Structure 1
Amino acid sequence: MTVSAGPLPLIILDVQDAIDQPVWKDKSNPGYLAAIERLLAYWRERHWPIIHIKHDEAVPTSTYHTHGPWNAIKKEVAPQPGEPVIVKHQNCAFIGTDLDAVLKRIGATRFVLTGVVIHNSMDATVRAGKALGYTILLPSDATTAVPVTSKDGGRWDARTVQDLTLAILDGEYAQVTDTDALIQSVR
């Protein structure tokens, strides 16, 4: 994979203290945060654009509740001065936010998406971003999934959920890669 010239923002989606609460247990990729930290350090060293997306949930029982104790962005990936934080209230980072306007303002036609969880907000954001005309690079090791249980009791383990979601998104909606390959392609 070769990445063309022009701004390539790194987007970090929903990486908040909320994701460490028991409802989000049994993650498929416990190392996702280290991969995001590595990408974040690489982007910061080069002064490339970084955008943080923070989920503020209105439902008081949500771990992401706006005024809840776990709403803060995780300290490992906390924004530095000058790095915008876009607050979202839906699963998709483009709905009801200025993400599209921010990307257009910096001239971005593509972006790298990292964060949590691949089968929820990341999936929704990838699909909307593609529909808006963006090229999306999705490092598989910089995201994670949790098990999914259907109403009828069917259960899929987190690894299966992550693998299937990435397989569905790859090619048609995003270019699935990993942190090492992505860093090599943007050098």
Structure 2
Amino acid sequence: MTSILTPLIILDVQDAIDQPRWNGKNNPGYLAVIQRLLAHWRGNGWPVLHVKHDEANPASTYHTHGPWNAIKREVAPIAGEPVIVKQHNCAFIGTELDALLKGMQVRRVVLTGVVIHHSMDATVRAGKALGYEIILPADATTAVPVAGDAGKSWDAASVHELTLAILAGEYAEVVTAEALLVG
């Protein structure tokens, strides 16, 4: 399922995700899963790309000059691994990600990161529209609770499960990390 032409993309895994605004995450082991995938990709010499969110709004935990903007040390890039900086919810909008993937002659990517119903959803949908095959390891991402305007709330596990169900098939191939590690 994976090959040298299937980059691993790590999206928005920054210190910001551990701030109180993002409390209530499901799948607390998502970071360890991403670390396993990252070690596997690096061990095979396969391409790894990091996407870092730089938010202009100073109130955001992802604020460009804020104290939590750094990529988490557990998945920090090493020499030769590109870092794509985004300012929008989608990693393809206003960035060089599409050009970089085209330059690598890539048609398929493995997407990991946070948060499944925010930037990951937007990136999956845009990537599919651009013609990429998106592989989405469900256990290498997380969700947070969602509260609607009418007062209805959904817990993070339900949000995660529903978002993956919506993306599966039409937009992405939803798998487990284990399938990628042994496949």
Q: TM-score, normalised by structure 2?
A: 0.98
Between the two proteins, what is the percent identity of the paired residues? 69
The correspondence for 1:101, drawn from 99, 102, 121, is 99
- Matches of 2:3 and 2:101 in 1, distance apart? 15
- Distance, in Å, in 2 between the alignment partners of 1:28 and 1:75 is 21
Task: Give, in whole Å, the separation in 2 of the partners of 1:102 and 1:55.
Answer: 17
CA contact (8 A) 1:148 1:161 kept: yes
User: How well do the aligned residues superpose, as a CA RMSD in angstroms?
Assistant: 0.9
- The 1:6–1:39 alpha-carbon spacing in structure 2 relative to 1, beyond 3 Å, is closer
User: Number of residue pairs matched?
Assistant: 183
Amino acid at match of 1:59: N
The answer to whether the aligner puts 1:143 opposite 2:109 as a matched pair is no
The answer to whether 1:130 aligns with 2:128 is yes
Q: Distance in 1 between matches of 2:154 and 2:115?
A: 15
Q: CA deviation at 1:184?
A: 1.8
Q: Does 1:23 align with 2:37?
A: no
Secondary structure of 1:128's aligned partner: helix
- Pairwise CA distance, 1:152: 1.5
Tell me if structure 1 keeps the 8 A contact 2:26–2:143.
yes
Unaligned segments of structure 1, at least 5 residues = none
1:110 corresponds, among 108, 111, 127, to 108
1:71 aligns to what? 69
CA displacement 1:142-168 (0-9 Å, x = unmatched): 000000001111100000000000000
Instruction: Name structure 2 gaps, 5 residues minimum.
Output: none
Question: 4+ residue stretches of structure 1 with deviation over 3 A?
Answer: none
The answer to whether the Cα contact below 8 Å between 2:8 and 2:38 also exists between their aligned partners in 1 is yes
